[in-house]
Amino acid sequence: SAVISQKPSRDICQRGTSLTIQCQVDSQVTMMFWYRQQPGQSLTLIATANQGSEATYESGFVIDKFPISRPNLTFSTLTVSNMSPEDSSIYLCSVPQGTYTEAFFGQGTRLTVV
Amino acid sequence: AQSVAQPEDQVNVAEGNPLTVKCTYSVSGNPYLFWYVQYPNRGLQFLLKYITGDNLVKGSYGFEAEFNKSQTSFHLKKPSALVSDSALYFCAVRDEYKLSFGAGTTVTVRA
């Protein structure tokens, strides 16, 4: 199974600022996923990050708000831009296992916007 | 689109009693189904999966799940719950290249 390191583990940010979350995997993977878990809610996929191409965003999420980088096959970043209190959530990085069956998750980044 | 539903927001059981967390699915074709657990301030941990084969799937920490095609269900079970099983449990289904998650069920096991 892949080992996924996510930084920071938590942060408290002022509204209007931006936060970049890093995800490092110990093996090369084609696809990396970014999920959001709002307080008391389930996980929602934000986007899929593919190395060498633009990220693919799910309905309701846009690149200007959540820009993603994928410079190589083991690393990705998600930026939460121009934050508001509604962005307070846990953000999780995920990679598929094997032939895209189960997925493995990082520990998550708990973001609080004040 | 593929989807799963978890009809119970909360499940409360006494330690030592059987634990069941319910999940139903709606898919076209053969489902790829999963259970994950989330402990407080932790990421998601994979418990088990059903891809094909035996309808009773065994996973981590003594958990198992039964795939029932006629009832479109994939309930998570543990014969004897522990206080340390108290956590948030998610059922998920593979939807093309991604996972779609249920709303989650909070399990509380009382001593």
Task: Evaluate if residue A86 carries a pLDDT over 70.
Answer: yes
| Residue pLDDT, tens place only, A89-108 | 999 999 988 665 788 999 99
Strands (E), chain B: 3-5, 10-14, 19-21, 24-26, 33-38, 44-50, 56-58, 64-68, 73-78, 87-95, 98-101, 105-110
Q: Write the residue in A1, A41, A107 that is nearest to B42 by C-beta.
A: A107
What pLDDT is stored for residue B102 in this prediction? Answer: 95
Closest residue by Cα to residue A106 from A34, A31, A56: A34
pLDDT band at A7 (very low <50, low <70, confident <90, very high): very high
Contacts of B34 in chain A (CB under 8 A): 102
State what percent of residues in chain A have pLDDT above 70.
97
The shortest C-alpha distance from A81 to chain B (Å) reads 23
> Taking a C-beta distance cutoff of 8 angstroms, is the pair B76, B105 a contact?
no
Instruction: Spell out which chain A residues touch chain B, with contact meaning CB-CB distance below 8 angstroms.
Output: 1, 6, 31, 33, 41-43, 45, 48, 92, 94, 96, 100-108, 110
* Structure tokens, B104: 């989650």
Q: Tell me what the mean pLDDT of segment A48-77 comes to.
A: 94
What pLDDT is stored for residue A99 in this prediction? Answer: 66
State what percent of residues in chain A have pLDDT above 90.
81
Q: Tell me what the mean pLDDT of segment A69-79 comes to.
A: 95
What pLDDT is stored for residue B19 in this prediction? Answer: 98
pLDDT band at A52 (very low <50, low <70, confident <90, very high): confident
Residue of A nearest to B90 (CA): A42
Residue of B nearest to A6 (CA): B43
Q: What is the pLDDT along chain B (111 residues), one digit of tens a residue?
A: 789 999 999 999 999 999 999 999 998 888 899 999 999 877 899 999 998 888 999 999 999 999 999 999 999 999 999 999 999 999 999 988 789 999 999 999 999
The shortest C-alpha distance from B81 to chain A (Å) reads 23
Distance, in Å, from the CA atom of A84 to the CA atom of A93, rounded to the nearest integer, reads: 21
Distance, in Å, from the CA atom of A23 to the CA atom of A6, rounded to the nearest integer, reads: 5
What contacts A99, CB < 8 A, 6 or more positions away? none
Cross-chain residue pair A102–B34, CB shorter than 8 Å: yes
Amino acid at the residue B11: V
The shortest C-alpha distance from B89 to chain A (Å) reads 10
The shortest C-alpha distance from B101 to chain A (Å) reads 6
